[in-house]
Amino acid sequence: MLAFSKEKLVFLSVPKTGTTAYQDALAARASLVVRDPPELKHAPVFRYNRFFRPSLEKFCGEGFDVLAVMREPIDWLGSWYRYRRRPGHEGTRTSTHELSFDEFVLAYLKGNRPPCANVGSQAKFLEPQKNGTAVTHLFRYEDQQGLTDFLKNRLKTDVFTRRLNQSPKLELLLSAEVETELRRKCAVEFALYDGIDANGLYTPLSHGEAPAHR
């Protein structure tokens, strides 16, 4: 997570959306950089609202915009699947070495997910809070140019990123049947992603509207 006090901007770090590269590029420019532990580095909206927003507003004033990135839901799950197949991760509780991508996605759709598929939800991460705290600018992961242009304009600085924490390259095969089930059970994830426009604007979910697997 990054915070820029003068520009009144917070950049949340949704896991598996490439935001570590922006943190690396902009850390020297930021007023606050949260790198560790992962629970704070990847603080979702509810955690930002509870722990970080009050302090930022107390010392820097109100009016912070919140920026985040969302990845296409199947691609996002694919990144997690590849990441947990990385060399040296074999035999761990979260390893996906013994699973096909279909099996991984089906495990994700279970009500009680096994450790290997317990990767959270982008919609839940981005869920607005009852007090109105919400992401105000949401860019698609694929729109790196749009995100970079936004940051350049907002921060009045050039932004140069390099690839970090890349998952191993692997062709992902998802059957039509499993994709249909994923889209049915995680419909809100797809609707949220599809609702992002070219300017990083979108229609937020209502509090409590993030999908529950049925």
137 is a domain residue: yes
Within a domain: 126: yes
Banded pLDDT at 206 (limits 50, 70, 90): low
The answer to whether residue 208 is domain-embedded is no
Number of domains the chain contains: 1
Residue 201 lies in a domain: no
Q: Which domain holds residue 112?
A: 2-194
- Three-state DSSP string of the chain: CEEECCCCEEECCCCCCCHHHHHHHHHHHCCEECCCCHHHHCCCHHHHHHHHHHHHHHHHCCCCEEEEEECCHHHHHHHHHHHCCCCCCCCCCCCCCCCCHHHHHHHHCCCCCCHHHCCCCHHHHCCCCCCCCCCCEEEECCCHHHHHHHHHHHHCCCCCCCCCCCCCCCCCCCCHHHHHHHHHHCHHHHHHHHCCCCCCCCCCCCCCCCCCCC
Whether 170 is covered by a domain: the verdict is yes
**11-48, pLDDT tens digit by residue?**
999 999 999 999 999 999 999 999 999 999 999 999 99
206 within a domain of the structure (yes/no):
no
User: Which CATH number goes with the domain that contains 138?
Assistant: 3.40.50.300
* pTM of the shown model: 0.91
In a domain, 210, yes or no: no
The whole-number pLDDT of residue 203 equals 79
Q: Indicate if the pLDDT at residue 99 is higher than 80.
A: yes
pLDDT of residue 94: 96
* Residue 213 located in a structural domain: no
